[in-house]
Amino acid sequence: MCELLSECLLNPNAENGAFDENTTDLMRAELIDTIDSVINEKSSYAIQNANKTAFVGEPMEFPANGTHEQAEKVTAKSAYTAYRRILESARVEIFAVGCSDFSDAERILSETFKKIERKNICELTVTPSKLKPEPAFASDRLPMQQAILRMYFKAPELTDRFAGTMFTMILGGMTTSRFFENIREKQSLCYYCSCVAGRNKRYLAVYAGVEPKNIERTREAVLEEIRDICENGVSDEEIKTAMLEINNEISSIYDSGASMTGWYLNQLTDGKTLSPEEFCEEIRAVTAERIQAAARLYSLDTVYTLSGEEQ
Protein backbone atom coordinates (compact mmCIF):
# COMPACT_ATOMS: atom_id res chain seq x y z
CA MET A 1 0.00 0.00 0.00
CA CYS A 2 2.82 2.40 0.78
CA GLU A 3 4.49 1.62 -2.53
CA LEU A 4 1.18 2.35 -4.29
CA LEU A 5 0.84 5.62 -2.39
CA SER A 6 4.40 6.52 -3.33
CA GLU A 7 3.67 5.84 -6.99
CA CYS A 8 0.57 8.04 -6.88
CA LEU A 9 2.50 10.88 -5.27
CA LEU A 10 5.45 10.87 -7.67
CA ASN A 11 3.93 9.76 -10.95
CA PRO A 12 0.48 11.26 -11.56
CA ASN A 13 -1.22 11.24 -14.95
CA ALA A 14 0.69 14.22 -16.33
CA GLU A 15 2.99 15.18 -19.18
CA ASN A 16 5.00 18.29 -20.05
CA GLY A 17 4.12 20.11 -16.83
CA ALA A 18 0.36 19.59 -17.06
CA PHE A 19 -2.24 17.08 -15.91
CA ASP A 20 -4.40 15.19 -18.38
CA GLU A 21 -6.90 17.64 -19.92
CA ASN A 22 -9.92 15.34 -19.77
CA THR A 23 -9.28 14.40 -16.16
CA THR A 24 -8.79 18.05 -15.25
CA ASP A 25 -12.10 18.96 -16.89
CA LEU A 26 -13.89 16.29 -14.86
CA MET A 27 -12.25 17.34 -11.60
CA ARG A 28 -12.95 21.01 -12.27
CA ALA A 29 -16.63 20.29 -12.89
CA GLU A 30 -16.81 18.19 -9.72
CA LEU A 31 -15.17 20.95 -7.70
CA ILE A 32 -17.57 23.57 -9.07
CA ASP A 33 -20.54 21.33 -8.24
CA THR A 34 -19.24 20.96 -4.68
CA ILE A 35 -18.81 24.72 -4.31
CA ASP A 36 -22.21 25.55 -5.77
CA SER A 37 -24.08 22.86 -3.83
CA VAL A 38 -23.32 24.48 -0.46
CA ILE A 39 -26.35 26.72 -0.92
CA ASN A 40 -28.55 23.60 -0.71
CA GLU A 41 -27.18 22.78 2.74
CA LYS A 42 -28.31 25.76 4.75
CA SER A 43 -26.14 25.02 7.81
CA SER A 44 -22.99 24.83 5.69
CA TYR A 45 -24.01 27.97 3.81
CA ALA A 46 -24.48 29.80 7.11
CA ILE A 47 -21.05 28.69 8.37
CA GLN A 48 -19.34 29.75 5.15
CA ASN A 49 -20.96 33.18 5.08
CA ALA A 50 -20.67 33.81 8.81
CA ASN A 51 -16.94 33.10 8.62
CA LYS A 52 -16.55 35.95 6.15
CA THR A 53 -17.47 38.35 8.94
CA ALA A 54 -16.15 36.49 11.98
CA PHE A 55 -12.68 35.94 10.52
CA VAL A 56 -12.23 38.86 8.14
CA GLY A 57 -8.58 39.24 7.16
CA GLU A 58 -7.74 35.66 8.25
CA PRO A 59 -7.49 32.45 6.20
CA MET A 60 -10.76 31.19 7.73
CA GLU A 61 -12.56 34.05 5.97
CA PHE A 62 -12.34 32.05 2.74
CA PRO A 63 -14.12 28.76 1.91
CA ALA A 64 -11.80 25.75 1.91
CA ASN A 65 -12.79 24.79 -1.64
CA GLY A 66 -12.39 28.31 -3.01
CA THR A 67 -15.00 30.15 -5.07
CA HIS A 68 -16.83 29.24 -8.24
CA GLU A 69 -14.85 31.88 -10.14
CA GLN A 70 -11.52 30.57 -8.87
CA ALA A 71 -12.42 26.99 -9.79
CA GLU A 72 -13.37 28.01 -13.33
CA LYS A 73 -9.87 29.41 -13.87
CA VAL A 74 -8.10 26.16 -12.98
CA THR A 75 -6.26 24.63 -15.94
CA ALA A 76 -4.34 21.40 -16.40
CA LYS A 77 -1.13 23.39 -16.16
CA SER A 78 -2.06 25.55 -13.13
CA ALA A 79 -3.27 22.46 -11.23
CA TYR A 80 0.01 20.69 -11.93
CA THR A 81 1.97 23.74 -10.80
CA ALA A 82 0.01 23.76 -7.53
CA TYR A 83 0.65 20.03 -7.11
CA ARG A 84 4.40 20.52 -7.47
CA ARG A 85 4.36 23.45 -5.04
CA ILE A 86 2.64 21.26 -2.46
CA LEU A 87 5.16 18.45 -2.89
CA GLU A 88 8.15 20.75 -2.70
CA SER A 89 7.24 23.24 0.01
CA ALA A 90 4.20 22.10 2.03
CA ARG A 91 4.42 20.80 5.57
CA VAL A 92 3.76 17.07 5.16
CA GLU A 93 2.45 14.88 7.97
CA ILE A 94 2.24 11.12 7.44
CA PHE A 95 0.08 9.03 9.77
CA ALA A 96 0.18 5.25 9.88
CA VAL A 97 -2.49 3.49 11.95
CA GLY A 98 -2.82 -0.24 12.51
CA CYS A 99 -1.13 -3.33 13.95
CA SER A 100 2.44 -2.89 12.73
CA ASP A 101 5.76 -1.44 13.72
CA PHE A 102 5.51 0.64 10.50
CA SER A 103 9.22 0.28 9.75
CA ASP A 104 8.52 -0.59 6.10
CA ALA A 105 6.12 2.32 5.76
CA GLU A 106 8.69 4.69 7.20
CA ARG A 107 11.40 3.39 4.87
CA ILE A 108 9.30 3.54 1.70
CA LEU A 109 7.88 6.99 2.32
CA SER A 110 11.25 8.37 3.42
CA GLU A 111 12.74 7.16 0.15
CA THR A 112 9.83 8.72 -1.70
CA PHE A 113 10.38 12.18 -0.31
CA LYS A 114 14.13 11.98 -0.79
CA LYS A 115 13.39 11.99 -4.52
CA ILE A 116 11.74 15.40 -4.22
CA GLU A 117 13.76 18.59 -3.96
CA ARG A 118 12.17 20.06 -0.86
CA LYS A 119 12.81 23.74 -0.08
CA ASN A 120 11.22 26.75 1.61
CA ILE A 121 9.06 24.46 3.73
CA CYS A 122 5.99 26.21 5.10
CA GLU A 123 5.89 26.68 8.85
CA LEU A 124 2.86 25.30 10.62
CA THR A 125 1.60 28.06 12.89
CA VAL A 126 -1.82 28.98 14.19
CA THR A 127 -2.54 32.32 15.82
CA PRO A 128 -5.63 33.19 17.88
CA SER A 129 -8.34 34.99 15.96
CA LYS A 130 -8.44 38.71 16.68
CA LEU A 131 -11.34 40.02 18.75
CA LYS A 132 -13.16 42.92 17.11
CA PRO A 133 -13.39 46.22 19.07
CA GLU A 134 -17.18 45.98 18.75
CA PRO A 135 -19.36 43.00 17.75
CA ALA A 136 -20.13 42.78 14.03
CA PHE A 137 -23.61 41.91 12.74
CA ALA A 138 -24.35 40.32 9.36
CA SER A 139 -27.29 38.55 7.73
CA ASP A 140 -28.35 36.79 4.54
CA ARG A 141 -31.66 35.71 3.12
CA LEU A 142 -32.64 32.53 1.30
CA PRO A 143 -35.98 30.88 0.57
CA MET A 144 -36.44 29.02 3.86
CA GLN A 145 -38.87 28.76 6.74
CA GLN A 146 -36.47 28.22 9.62
CA ALA A 147 -33.77 30.75 10.48
CA ILE A 148 -30.20 30.00 11.56
CA LEU A 149 -28.43 32.04 14.20
CA ARG A 150 -24.67 31.88 14.62
CA MET A 151 -22.78 33.75 17.34
CA TYR A 152 -19.01 33.85 17.62
CA PHE A 153 -17.20 34.54 20.89
CA LYS A 154 -13.43 34.93 21.02
CA ALA A 155 -10.89 34.55 23.81
CA PRO A 156 -7.41 35.33 22.40
CA GLU A 157 -5.88 35.12 25.90
CA LEU A 158 -7.25 31.66 26.74
CA THR A 159 -4.46 29.20 27.49
CA ASP A 160 -6.28 26.59 29.61
CA ARG A 161 -7.48 24.24 26.86
CA PHE A 162 -8.95 21.76 29.34
CA ALA A 163 -11.07 24.32 31.19
CA GLY A 164 -12.13 25.64 27.79
CA THR A 165 -13.23 22.16 26.76
CA MET A 166 -15.29 21.74 29.92
CA PHE A 167 -16.86 25.18 29.49
CA THR A 168 -17.90 24.36 25.92
CA MET A 169 -19.37 21.02 26.95
CA ILE A 170 -21.39 22.42 29.84
CA LEU A 171 -22.60 25.40 27.84
CA GLY A 172 -23.76 23.64 24.69
CA GLY A 173 -21.82 20.50 23.90
CA MET A 174 -24.08 17.74 25.24
CA THR A 175 -27.75 16.84 25.57
CA THR A 176 -27.80 18.04 29.18
CA SER A 177 -26.07 21.32 28.37
CA ARG A 178 -27.42 24.67 29.48
CA PHE A 179 -28.37 25.59 25.92
CA PHE A 180 -30.34 22.38 25.47
CA GLU A 181 -32.10 22.39 28.82
CA ASN A 182 -32.70 26.11 29.31
CA ILE A 183 -33.06 27.57 25.82
CA ARG A 184 -34.50 24.65 23.87
CA GLU A 185 -36.47 22.72 26.49
CA LYS A 186 -37.59 25.26 29.09
CA GLN A 187 -38.04 28.33 26.87
CA SER A 188 -38.80 26.50 23.58
CA LEU A 189 -36.96 29.19 21.65
CA CYS A 190 -35.26 26.95 19.09
CA TYR A 191 -35.17 23.58 17.39
CA TYR A 192 -31.57 23.10 18.45
CA CYS A 193 -28.90 25.16 20.17
CA SER A 194 -25.33 23.99 20.57
CA CYS A 195 -21.78 25.28 20.46
CA VAL A 196 -18.39 24.15 19.26
CA ALA A 197 -14.94 25.50 20.10
CA GLY A 198 -12.16 26.30 17.67
CA ARG A 199 -9.39 25.55 20.13
CA ASN A 200 -6.38 26.70 18.13
CA LYS A 201 -8.09 29.89 16.96
CA ARG A 202 -9.62 30.34 20.44
CA TYR A 203 -13.19 31.00 19.43
CA LEU A 204 -16.55 29.59 20.42
CA ALA A 205 -19.26 29.26 17.77
CA VAL A 206 -22.86 29.05 18.98
CA TYR A 207 -25.41 27.86 16.44
CA ALA A 208 -29.18 27.58 16.69
CA GLY A 209 -32.11 26.76 14.42
CA VAL A 210 -34.98 29.09 15.28
CA GLU A 211 -38.20 30.63 14.06
CA PRO A 212 -37.38 34.06 12.59
CA LYS A 213 -39.50 35.73 15.27
CA ASN A 214 -37.35 34.16 18.01
CA ILE A 215 -33.92 35.23 16.75
CA GLU A 216 -33.49 38.14 19.15
CA ARG A 217 -34.86 36.27 22.14
CA THR A 218 -32.54 33.34 21.43
CA ARG A 219 -29.57 35.67 21.08
CA GLU A 220 -30.30 37.23 24.46
CA ALA A 221 -30.83 33.81 26.03
CA VAL A 222 -27.39 32.67 24.81
CA LEU A 223 -25.77 35.77 26.27
CA GLU A 224 -27.61 35.23 29.56
CA GLU A 225 -26.35 31.64 29.90
CA ILE A 226 -22.76 32.76 29.37
CA ARG A 227 -23.20 35.66 31.80
CA ASP A 228 -24.57 33.29 34.43
CA ILE A 229 -21.51 31.03 34.23
CA CYS A 230 -19.22 34.07 34.37
CA GLU A 231 -20.98 35.41 37.46
CA ASN A 232 -22.11 32.27 39.29
CA GLY A 233 -19.91 29.48 37.95
CA VAL A 234 -20.96 25.88 37.32
CA SER A 235 -22.23 23.14 39.60
CA ASP A 236 -20.47 19.96 40.70
CA GLU A 237 -23.17 17.96 38.90
CA GLU A 238 -22.47 19.78 35.62
CA ILE A 239 -18.76 19.07 35.97
CA LYS A 240 -19.38 15.40 36.68
CA THR A 241 -21.74 15.02 33.72
CA ALA A 242 -19.37 16.83 31.35
CA MET A 243 -16.44 14.65 32.43
CA LEU A 244 -18.45 11.48 31.80
CA GLU A 245 -19.50 12.77 28.38
CA ILE A 246 -15.90 13.59 27.44
CA ASN A 247 -14.66 10.22 28.70
CA ASN A 248 -17.26 8.45 26.54
CA GLU A 249 -16.26 10.45 23.47
CA ILE A 250 -12.57 9.86 24.06
CA SER A 251 -13.05 6.12 24.45
CA SER A 252 -14.46 5.93 20.90
CA ILE A 253 -11.28 7.35 19.35
CA TYR A 254 -9.80 3.86 19.09
CA ASP A 255 -12.78 2.66 17.03
CA SER A 256 -11.27 3.69 13.70
CA GLY A 257 -8.03 4.66 12.08
CA ALA A 258 -9.56 7.93 10.91
CA SER A 259 -10.53 9.02 14.41
CA MET A 260 -7.09 8.15 15.78
CA THR A 261 -5.44 10.11 12.98
CA GLY A 262 -7.73 13.05 13.64
CA TRP A 263 -6.91 13.00 17.34
CA TYR A 264 -3.18 13.45 16.81
CA LEU A 265 -3.54 15.66 13.74
CA ASN A 266 -5.48 18.19 15.82
CA GLN A 267 -2.53 18.50 18.21
CA LEU A 268 0.15 19.33 15.65
CA THR A 269 0.44 22.94 16.78
CA ASP A 270 0.38 22.15 20.51
CA GLY A 271 3.52 22.27 22.55
CA LYS A 272 2.78 18.79 23.86
CA THR A 273 1.01 15.85 22.25
CA LEU A 274 -1.32 13.95 24.56
CA SER A 275 -2.73 10.46 24.25
CA PRO A 276 -6.48 10.12 24.83
CA GLU A 277 -5.76 8.74 28.32
CA GLU A 278 -3.48 11.66 29.19
CA PHE A 279 -6.11 14.12 27.98
CA CYS A 280 -8.72 12.52 30.24
CA GLU A 281 -6.38 12.84 33.21
CA GLU A 282 -6.07 16.57 32.53
CA ILE A 283 -9.85 16.92 32.22
CA ARG A 284 -10.39 15.21 35.59
CA ALA A 285 -8.20 17.87 37.21
CA VAL A 286 -10.32 20.79 35.96
CA THR A 287 -12.08 22.72 38.71
CA ALA A 288 -15.16 24.94 38.74
CA GLU A 289 -12.90 27.95 39.29
CA ARG A 290 -10.90 27.19 36.15
CA ILE A 291 -14.06 26.80 34.08
CA GLN A 292 -15.41 30.13 35.32
CA ALA A 293 -12.09 31.82 34.59
CA ALA A 294 -12.13 30.45 31.04
CA ALA A 295 -15.71 31.65 30.50
CA ARG A 296 -14.80 35.17 31.56
CA LEU A 297 -12.21 35.43 28.81
CA TYR A 298 -14.78 35.11 26.01
CA SER A 299 -16.30 38.20 24.40
CA LEU A 300 -18.96 38.47 21.70
CA ASP A 301 -17.34 39.06 18.30
CA THR A 302 -19.90 38.34 15.55
CA VAL A 303 -23.63 37.70 15.18
CA TYR A 304 -24.88 36.21 11.92
CA THR A 305 -28.38 35.25 10.83
CA LEU A 306 -29.65 33.38 7.79
CA SER A 307 -33.37 33.73 7.28
CA GLY A 308 -36.13 33.80 4.69
CA GLU A 309 -37.66 36.91 6.22
CA GLU A 310 -36.41 40.42 6.73
CA GLN A 311 -35.31 41.05 10.28
Q: Residue type for 268, please?
A: L
Write out pLDDT tens, residues 161-171: 999 999 999 99
* pLDDT of 208 strictly over 80: yes
Confirm if 126 and 96 have CB atoms less than 8 A apart: no
Q: Per-residue b/e over 215-230, b at no fewer than 16 CB within 10 Å? A: beebbebbeebbeebe
* 136-141 and 299-307 beta bridge pairing: parallel
In 10 A of CB 200, how many CB atoms? 17
Write out pLDDT tens, residues 129-176: 999 999 999 999 999 999 999 999 999 999 999 999 999 999 999 999
* pLDDT of 311 strictly over 60: no
Write out pLDDT tens, residues 223-249: 999 999 999 999 999 999 999 999 999
Q: What CA–CA distance (Å, rounded) separates 77 from 246? A: 47
Write out pLDDT tens, residues 2-32: 999 999 999 999 999 999 999 999 999 999 9
